[in-house]
Amino acid sequence: MAGQGAAGMDPALLDDIIRRLLEVRTARPGKQVQLSEAEIRQLCNVSREIFLSQPNLLELEAPIKICGDIHGQYSDLLRLFEYGGFPPEANYLFLAALIDDKILCMHGGLSPDLTNLDQIKNLTRPTDVPDTGLLCDLLWSDPGKDMQGWGMNDRGVSYTFGADKVSEFLERLDLDLICRAHQVVEDGYEFFADRQLVTIFSAPNYCGEFDNAGAMMSVDETLMCSFQILKPAEKKSKFMISTKI
């Protein structure tokens, strides 16, 4: 539960909100949780303060669990927590971070403007996302199969990048892996560039239109990565696949 609560919010109220949000764990997927407008506004305001107090690039330690896009599929968020453990017992990463100085996580991908991690740390927040440049690329670029270098992105924003750019970037910054989200992948996760980059997508049956699985990547103390899979049809099934980084 909330413990001492977030700054500026009554811990008892926060615990009550968490209790109501978790009550639907045993209900059918899609059951709604009723929160008042005032409660939602307070949650948003407190969350904003917390996010702004944290650095752009979180520097975290394993063990940790990494999730990609969930696109508001709340019942699937609860399934991720069921499999991996509920906070604070388990530590989750949903945003950009550097894990043990070896695994770099972002939503989109690489940028031709990105040469060192201090550039990420020095980005101004809050801000509007520009149409071009480093921040735009971190959010919206994509790996491109069967290509080298940088290419135009079919989304009409940012770039695509080849496996050669992944290798160059990892070697230059002494990293082992890039972990990103942003794209629906059939099995919930998909490797690229000889397992130097992995895409994690955590919304199974995305929008009810894709028969994709969702995935969560668990990183242990030795940086061994395993994947927990949320199957789109079998709502309670899971299996794990491990690969050493």
- At 235, the pLDDT band (50, 70, 90 cuts) reads very low
Mean pLDDT over residues 32-59, rounded? Answer: 93
Query: Which residues does residue 59 pair with via DSSP β-bridges, in sequence order?
Result: 98
Write down the mean pLDDT value for the chain. Answer: 90
Residue with tokens 């949000």: 21
Q: Is it the case that residue 4 has pLDDT exceeding 50?
A: no
Domain ranges of the chain: 1-53, 56-244
Which CATH number applies to 56-244? 3.60.21.10
For residue range 68-81, list pLDDT tens digits in order.
999 999 989 999 99
Segment 172-225, tens digit of pLDDT: 999 999 999 999 999 999 999 999 999 999 999 998 889 999 999 999 999 999
Mean pLDDT (whole number) for 230-241: 57
129 pLDDT above the threshold of 60: yes
pLDDT confidence tier of residue 1, bands split at 50, 70 and 90:
very low
- Assess whether pLDDT exceeds 60 at residue 143: yes
Q: Is 90 exceeded by the pLDDT of residue 7?
A: no
Q: Which two tokens stand for residue 140?
A: 């919206």
Residue 242 has pLDDT above 50, yes or no: no
Nearest Cα to Cα of residue 66 among 187, 244, 223, 239: 223
Q: Which pLDDT does position 95 carry in this prediction?
A: 64
